[in-house]
Amino acid sequence: MNQSVRLGVLGCGNVGSAFVKLVNERASTIAARTGITLSIERVAVRDLARARGTGLDDSVFSTNLREVIEDPRVDVVVELMGGVDPARELIIDALGKGKPVVTANKALLAECGVELFGAADSAGVDLLFEAAVAGGIPFIRPLRESLRGEPIRRVMGIVNGTTNFILTKMTEEGADYGAVLSEAQRLGYAEADPTADVEGFDAAAKCAVFASIAFGANVTSGDVYREGITSVTAADIAVAKRLGYVVKLLAIAESDPLTHELSVRVHPAMVPTTHPLASVREAYNAVFVEGDAVGSLMFYGRGAGGEPTASAVLGDVIDAAVNLKKGTHAMLGTFVKPKFTRIDDTKSEYLLTLEVLDQPGVLHSITGVFAKNGVSIRTAEQEGIGENARLVFITHLAQEAAVRKCLRDFAELNVMKRSGGFIRVIGK
Ligand SMILES: NC(=O)c1ccc[n+]([C@@H]2O[C@H](COP(=O)([O-])OP(=O)(O)OC[C@H]3O[C@@H](n4cnc5c(N)ncnc54)[C@H](OP(=O)(O)O)[C@@H]3O)[C@@H](O)[C@H]2O)c1
């Protein structure tokens, strides 16, 4: 028997307009497959005069967000407006009225996801958010459902297309950050104000969301250690490349198997060219999941853009509609505030580049600092000669605090011209 489910959509921008078009194009196929006919009943926007090319009648649109969620004809609410307020209150109210909600809003989930999950659970309806992390890539549902019985060790993702585009161009063209950012802005891959992307805020929000789901933990954006890509230089990338690595901005959530402390962090990292994440180029996203029994999994695809994101939203809407008609809803589980590992207490291998004076005894002073701080060296080499000599080290697994102490100690040496930064290395 065919049943109708009517949608109220908050926001009709990039994702919202693509979503409305997909629903209209695919409603009959979806009805044939699921027995549910979806229709767009109401859409809320800020500016009624803006052309959206959705084919919907003008009477469907409103500037009154609350009117949309309260309309008794609306069965399922689809939140595609973004931002924390007023989205938070509207979603809680919609759930309270027994209306399932689908959202793509990572900023909101990373701020108050656990509160919203609780509201959905109390109301006994769905709150689904596949599109909030890595856009069109189906990754949250596998984590939430297929991998429910799997103790996850680490989730590691390239979840920001803008920074991956910039780092790919820097790697493949040897270009500097500034020049590539301008090109990315011209091509529409980066915003006029790129801060949210290049400083890692967007990736940190996504990291908080996937860490919550992967580890049943209450993680917010503020819990995530964050470094962006603005200090990555063409020279760092060239060294990495020569040593068999590419530099990627990674969002990492990792549980210590003994203490169960959670490390959540976003930072540039050197990934061996043999690792599956190394081949993720341009604006593509990928998430690499490591579990106890399942081993390694990788989810790859378009992490943003109106259509891919709308596709993930539509999948959630169909699930929510089917569940609504069956009187059931997806289980989100419990979310406990974990103990977080401070970045100083994390362990990694590190690449360090040091510009030093070309004189005898330099290497002895440097290795003395490493030894004093208990950091052992995996590889050491000199790049260039004379005035342009640089020493390049990769450490063995070391504690971050000890490596940072080495950098402070190097700066005190009189043979040091410039103590370059360091890049964490993801082990082979
Ligand atoms: N774009 C992507 O590739 C992508 C990928 C994954 C997730 N997302 C998430 O999807 C959501 C939507 O992103 P988007 O790129 O589609 O944003 P967008 O293009 O800026 O669209 C936002 C829409 O919401 C409406 N809106 C915002 N505030 C409103 C208010 N107070 N009252 C009424 N309407 C309001 C806007 O109305 P007007 O059109 O009248 O201004 C617009 O239609 C965000 O949470 C974003 O993080 C986006």
Q: pLDDT digits over 120-151, tens only? A: 999 999 999 999 999 999 999 999 999 999 99
User: Which residue is listed with tokens 């790859």?
Assistant: 300
DSSP 257: T
Give yes or no for residue 387 having a pLDDT over 90: no
Q: Is 6 exposed, middle or buried (0-12, 13-18, 19+ CB in 10 A)?
A: middle
d(CA 319, CA 239): 48
pLDDT the model gives residue 368 = 95
46 within ligand 1 shell (Cβ under 6 A):
yes
80 within ligand 1 shell (Cβ under 6 A):
yes
> Closest Cα partner for 131 from 102, 157, 98?
102
d(CA 112, CA 308): 25
Q: Half-sphere exposure of residue 284, counting CA atoms within 13 Å on the CB side?
A: 14
User: Cβ(405)–Cβ(411) under 8 Å?
Assistant: no
Strands (E) located in 35-179: 36-44, 61-62, 76-79, 101-103, 127-128, 152-158
pLDDT the model gives residue 98 = 97
pLDDT the model gives residue 384 = 74
- What average pLDDT does this structure show over 309-313? 97
User: Cβ(297)–Cβ(288) under 8 Å?
Assistant: yes
Q: What is the pLDDT of residues 23-55, one digit of tens each?
A: 999 999 999 999 999 999 999 999 999 999 999
The region, left, alpha or beta by phi > 0 then psi within -120 to 50, assigned to residue 228 is beta
10, 14, 137, 209: which to mutate for ligand 1, most atoms within 8 A of CB? Answer: 14
Give yes or no for residue 184 having a pLDDT over 90: yes
Catalytic residue of the set 21, 99, 106, 206: 206
Give yes or no for residue 325 having a pLDDT over 90: yes
pLDDT the model gives residue 1 = 64
16 within ligand 1 shell (Cβ under 6 A):
yes
Distance 343 CA to ligand 1 centre (A): 33
Instruction: List the structure tokens of 201.
Output: 């805020």
User: Cβ(173)–Cβ(340) under 8 Å?
Assistant: no
207 within ligand 1 shell (Cβ under 6 A):
no
d(CA 119, CA 199): 32
Instruction: List the structure tokens of 76.
Output: 């399922």
Distance 131 CA to ligand 1 centre (A): 13
- Decide: helix, strand or coil at residue 346: coil
Nearest protein CA to atom 14 of ligand 1, as residue: 14
Question: Is 206 annotated as catalytic?
Answer: yes
Strands (E) located in 241-376: 245-255, 262-272, 284-291, 295-302, 347-356
- Decide: helix, strand or coil at residue 46: coil
pLDDT band for 335, please (50, 70, 90 cuts). very high
Q: What is the pLDDT of residues 174-183, one digit of tens each?
A: 999 999 999 9
Instruction: List the structure tokens of 369.
Output: 């600092």
118 within ligand 1 shell (Cβ under 6 A):
no
d(CA 313, CA 200): 24
428 within ligand 1 shell (Cβ under 6 A):
no
CA dihedral 233, 234, 236, 242 (to 10 degrees): 170
pLDDT the model gives residue 383 = 80
Q: What is the pLDDT of residues 399-413, one digit of tens each?
A: 999 999 999 999 999
Give yes or no for residue 172 having a pLDDT over 90: yes
Any residues with CB less than 8 A from the CB of 103 and at least 6 apart, and which? Answer: 78, 79, 80, 87, 91, 109, 127, 128, 129, 131, 132
Sign of CA dihedral 128, 131, 136, 138: negative
17, 19, 42, 46: which to mutate for ligand 1, most atoms within 8 A of CB? Answer: 46
Instruction: List the structure tokens of 314.
Output: 């539509």
309 within ligand 1 shell (Cβ under 6 A):
yes
191, 284, 309, 313: which to mutate for ligand 1, most atoms within 8 A of CB? Answer: 309
Q: What is the pLDDT of residues 215-254, one digit of tens each?
A: 999 999 999 999 999 999 998 999 999 999 999 999 999 9
136 within ligand 1 shell (Cβ under 6 A):
no
Please report, rounded to a whole number, the percentage of residues in the chain having pLDDT higher than 70. 99
Q: How far is CA 302 from CA 138, 140, 141, 192, 366, in A?
A: 10, 15, 16, 21, 44
pLDDT the model gives residue 360 = 83
Q: Average per-residue pLDDT in the chain?
A: 95
pLDDT the model gives residue 323 = 97
Length of the chain measured in residues: 428
40, 45, 316: which to mutate for ligand 1, most atoms within 8 A of CB? Answer: 45
pLDDT the model gives residue 362 = 87
Nearest ligand 1 atom to the CA of 132 is 7
140 within ligand 1 shell (Cβ under 6 A):
no
Nearest protein CA to atom 5 of ligand 1, as residue: 304
pLDDT the model gives residue 428 = 57
Nearest ligand 1 atom to the CA of 45 is 34
- Against a cut of 0.85, is the pTM above it? yes
User: Cβ(333)–Cβ(216) under 8 Å?
Assistant: yes
Nearest ligand 1 atom to the CA of 304 is 3
13 within ligand 1 shell (Cβ under 6 A):
yes
Please report, rounded to a whole number, the percentage of residues in the chain having pLDDT higher than 90. 90
Nearest ligand 1 atom to the CA of 46 is 40
pLDDT band for 197, please (50, 70, 90 cuts). very high
